[in-house]
């Protein structure tokens, strides 16, 4: 769901930008059509991590590593960061970027399907960020909850599907109907889960912000 055009221009005028290495990576990724979080989402994510000061972060959906490095740069130096990616090309690029920009020892990259690989992880995480295949959010949720302790924060990105989430399934393009149905299921699940306190925010393309009780 897009911010009103004039408001978006005004808010963009206040954007101080990222650190040079993140700005370079962000600009290149957008130019090449690689999925990265929107600027307003990145600002919110960094603010949350700065507030939370997590000792551990788990990300599902690495892409080229932008958001993992964004969060790591806002977290304490000793923070344990794990990011998962199931697309081999993106995982390789992310690994190169972590090494190039000095995050190789701070971020652990796990390749493979998140639902399967979550069981390989040890312990719980203070902060979790979900930005992977949208149709799989509901499938990942049980595994993510198992990696949360009371007070853990889970943020999921792109949950409003450019406004399509409001539409009847018959008004959505046929190829997007499965994603539409599963995202609605995910939104209902996190809002009605007795173990989670959740807000849905119309920021960027929509975020869920959940805290485990």
Contact 117, 85 (CB under 8 A): no
How are beta strands 125-130 and 56-60 bridged, if at all? parallel
Rounded to the nearest 5 degrees, what angle is found at the Cα of 201, between the Cα atoms of 1 and 74?
A: 110
State how many domains the chain has.
Answer: 1
Paired with 199 in beta bridges are 209
pLDDT tens by residue, 28-73: 998 888 889 999 999 999 999 999 999 999 999 999 999 999 999 9
Strands (E), 31-190: 56-60, 80-85, 107-111, 125-130, 148-157
Report pLDDT digits (tens) over 105-134: 999 999 999 989 999 999 999 999 999 999
Which pLDDT band, with edges at 50, 70 and 90, does 4 fall under?
low
Scored b (16 or more CB within 10 A) or e, 167-187 reads eeeeebeeebeebbebbeebb
C-alpha 50/C-alpha 209 separation (Å) is 15
**Does the structure show a pLDDT above 90 at 162?**
no
CA 146 – CA 51 distance, rounded (Å): 23
How confident is the prediction for the chain on average, in pLDDT?
Answer: 90
Domain range for 200: 5-212
CATH of the domain at 122: 3.40.50.150
């Amino acid at each position: 769901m897009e911010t009103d055009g004039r408001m978006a221009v005004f808010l963009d005028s206040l954007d101080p930008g990222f650190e040079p290495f993140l700005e370079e990576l962000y600009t290149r990724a957008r130019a090449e059509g690689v999925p990265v979080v929107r600027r307003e989402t990145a600002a919110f994510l960094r603010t949350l991590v700065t507030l939370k000061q997590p000792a551990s972060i788990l990300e599902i959906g690495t892409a080229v590593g932008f958001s993992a490095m964004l969060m790591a740069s806002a977290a304490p130096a000793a923070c344990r960061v794990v990011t998962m990616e199931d697309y081999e090309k993106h995982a390789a690029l992310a690994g190169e970027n972590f090494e190039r920009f000095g995050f190789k020892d701070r971020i652990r990259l796990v390749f493979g399907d998140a639902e399967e690989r979550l069981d390989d992880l040890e312990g719980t995480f203070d902060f979790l960020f979900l930005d992977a295949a949208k149709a799989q959010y509901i499938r990942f949720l049980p595994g993510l909850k198992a990696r949360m302790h009371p007070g853990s924060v889970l943020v999921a990105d792109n949950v409003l599907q450019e406004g399509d989430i409001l539409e009847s399934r018959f008004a959505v393009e046929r190829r997007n109907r499965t994603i539409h149905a599963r995202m609605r299921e995910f939104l209902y699940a996190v809002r009605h889960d007795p173990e989670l306190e959740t807000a849905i925010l119309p920021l960027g393309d929509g975020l869920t912000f959940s805290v485990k009780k």
